[in-house]
């Protein structure tokens, strides 16, 4: 699953997100298992999160 959170949205602790955030459900030890398409999706998610 992939989750996104835009700046200003509420976080679990009641504060608000200062910027865009993503959760991609990967860990350092399984990132290498992505297919080529999965890697493109991951990179697109990173670009989205970094965009202003």
What are the φ and ψ backbone dihedral angles of 28, each rounded to 5 degrees? -55, -35
Rounded distance between C-alpha atoms, residue 31 and residue 51, angstroms: 22
Domain that holds residue 45: 3-50
Domains identified in the chain, total number: 1
Q: What is residue 8's predicted lDDT score, i.e. its pLDDT?
A: 93
Per-residue tokens: 28: 């350092």
pLDDT digits (tens, 9 = 90+) for 19-47: 999 988 888 888 889 999 999 999 999 99
Q: What is residue 4's predicted lDDT score, i.e. its pLDDT?
A: 87
Q: What is residue 39's predicted lDDT score, i.e. its pLDDT?
A: 92
Judge contact between 20 and 3, C-beta under 8 A. Answer: no
């Amino acid at each position: 699953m992939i989750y996104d959170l835009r700046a200003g949205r509420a976080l679990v602790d009641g504060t608000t997100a200062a910027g865009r955030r993503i959760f991609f459900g990967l860990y350092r030890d399984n990132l290498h298992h992505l297919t080529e398409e999965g890697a493109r999706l991951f990179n697109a998610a990173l670009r989205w999160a970094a965009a202003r």
